[in-house]
Amino acid sequence: MKRQGVEHFLRPGTLQLQGQPPLSLYVHLPWCLKKCPYCDFNSHAVTGGVALPEVAYLDALRADLQASLPLVWGRRIVSVFIGGGTPSLFDPASIDRLLADVRALLPLEPLAEVTLEANPGSFERDRFKAFRAAGVTRLSIGVQSFDDKALQRIGRVHDGAQARAAVAEASQAFETFNIDLMYALPGQSLAQLQADLAQALAFQPPHLSIYHLTVEPNTAFALAPPSLPDEDLASQMLDLISACTTTQGLQRYEVSAFARPGHRCRHNLNYWQFGDYLGIGAGAHGKLSFPHRVLRTVRWREPAAYMKQALAGNALSAQHEVQRDDLPFEYMMNALRLRNGFLVADFQARTGLPVSALQATLDAAQAKGLLEREGDRVRPSARGFDFLSDLQAMFLPR
Ligand SMILES: C[S@@+](CC[C@H](N)C(=O)[O-])C[C@H]1O[C@@H](n2cnc3c(N)ncnc32)[C@H](O)[C@@H]1O
Ligand code: SF4
């Protein structure tokens, strides 16, 4: 679609945003060795022996970024997240070029967090150090499980030994790193989850993300669903996760995220606090604030189409302004994921809505015991955290 000039987004409107929130950059690298049967991310299997079109893709990313600059003029980037797909399939020299292009075009905060997603088995030791040298400050390793059988059942290309080697290498090369785990896996018992947690925690990870496996539409698991733990077992699993992480000094600061002090993911925090992000790369989503509107953007999803369109200056496949009535729900979909919730003043600053847009629902949710309020702060109660989607649904437009 044709890009509109920045004047279009600066025109008057009914929302009154107060200043612009922090700006992050998301870069999507869409290839994997193989498509996992549960995955609905924009990831595409590399076909047998064919090399990744790294240079062509980097050229497209640079063109995309260059064409996006007028929308973020004068703003600094607080964090970069290179996600996928499997970004660690890219050569460290390519990541080096990517970050050089980013730095040449956009001012990065001096201590900007730069995360790269890596999969076990898609690298050797030297690659990790080379990613660090290229300017990556934080590695996020997609472990999922350390159990060979569980890994096979969820179609992963790596085994437990490769997962352990990857985490050990990350802890050597990076001051801060994350382990991604999933639970409620096909056939998983409480004891097996405990073993996974024990192995993850033995590495003393500064950050742990633990997701409940969900069967997403249009995935191989949706077509042929595996047998999964029932709700009771899944809830016992969550209790176990809470207990084990707490004793190891990790704090659950978001539904699925646990961190030691000083190691929360600044990039994801910016999403959850309804900050801005420029999203470049195939299928990447973005959100940008202007004085009177919030804009959401999407790039072309197919890598080949994206590369062609981005080079022609047309990386965007769709964009829309978030409607006034949808803003409270969109805000809560993010902010209520945080254990510590949000400040009413931040809601006003980032949505441009008056607090009256929220008051009746806040009162109703508090009366139901789903929310707690302390001065200007609003946070989900323990019950609200357990029934988060019910709580969030209260903010849907009527
Ligand atoms: C962007 S994904 C992919 C990262 C990396 N390519 C990998 O697979 O290891 C980030 C994380 O989302 C989680 N995830 C992906 N699909 C999921 C699903 N269907 N249910 C729950 N978690 C999922 C996994 O833990 C994964 O590591
Ligand atoms: S490796 Fe990660 S992004 Fe790729 S298909 Fe598997 S889950 Fe999806």
Instruction: List Cα–Cα distances, 383 to 21, 210, 304, in angstroms.
Output: 30, 20, 46
Question: What is the atom index within ligand 2 of the atom nearest the CA of 35?
Answer: 5
Can you give the pLDDT at residue 125?
73
The contacts of residue 171 (CB under 8 Å, 6+ apart) are: 177, 203, 204, 205
The Cα–Cα gap between 157 and 154 comes to 9
User: How many CA atoms does the CB half-sphere of 174 hold within 13 Å?
Assistant: 36
Are 54 and 86 contacting, i.e. CB atoms less than 8 angstroms apart?
no
Q: pLDDT tens for residues 152-179?
A: 999 999 999 999 999 999 999 999 999 9
Per run of 10 residues, the mean pLDDT along the chain (length 398 residues) is 84 94 98 96 88 96 97 97 96 98 97 97 80 98 98 97 96 97 98 98 98 97 97 97 96 98 98 98 98 98 98 97 97 98 97 94 98 97 96 95
* Contact 165 CB / ligand 1 (< 6 Å): no
The residue whose CB lies within 8 Å of the most ligand 1 atoms, and thus the one to mutate among 28, 33, 140, 211, is 211
Question: What is the atom index within ligand 2 of the atom nearest the CA of 34?
Answer: 5
Can you give the pLDDT at residue 48?
73
Q: Are strands 23-29 and 31-32 parallel, antiparallel or unpaired?
A: unpaired
Rounded to 5 degrees, what angle do the CA atoms 181, 115, 380 make? 60
Can you give the pLDDT at residue 47?
79
159 alpha carbon – ligand 2 mean position (Å):
15
Can you give the pLDDT at residue 3?
74
* Contact 279 CB / ligand 2 (< 6 Å): no
Rounded to 5 degrees, what angle do the CA atoms 186, 162, 52 make? 95
3-state secondary structure of 4: coil
Are 31 and 84 contacting, i.e. CB atoms less than 8 angstroms apart?
yes
The Cα–Cα gap between 5 and 108 comes to 24
* Contact 142 CB / ligand 1 (< 6 Å): yes
Can you give the pLDDT at residue 202?
98
Residue closest by Cα to atom 2 of ligand 2: 85
Q: pLDDT tens for residues 292-320?
A: 999 999 999 999 999 999 999 999 999 99
* Contact 39 CB / ligand 2 (< 6 Å): yes
Can you give the pLDDT at residue 122?
59
Q: Which ligand is nearest to the CA of 179?
A: 1
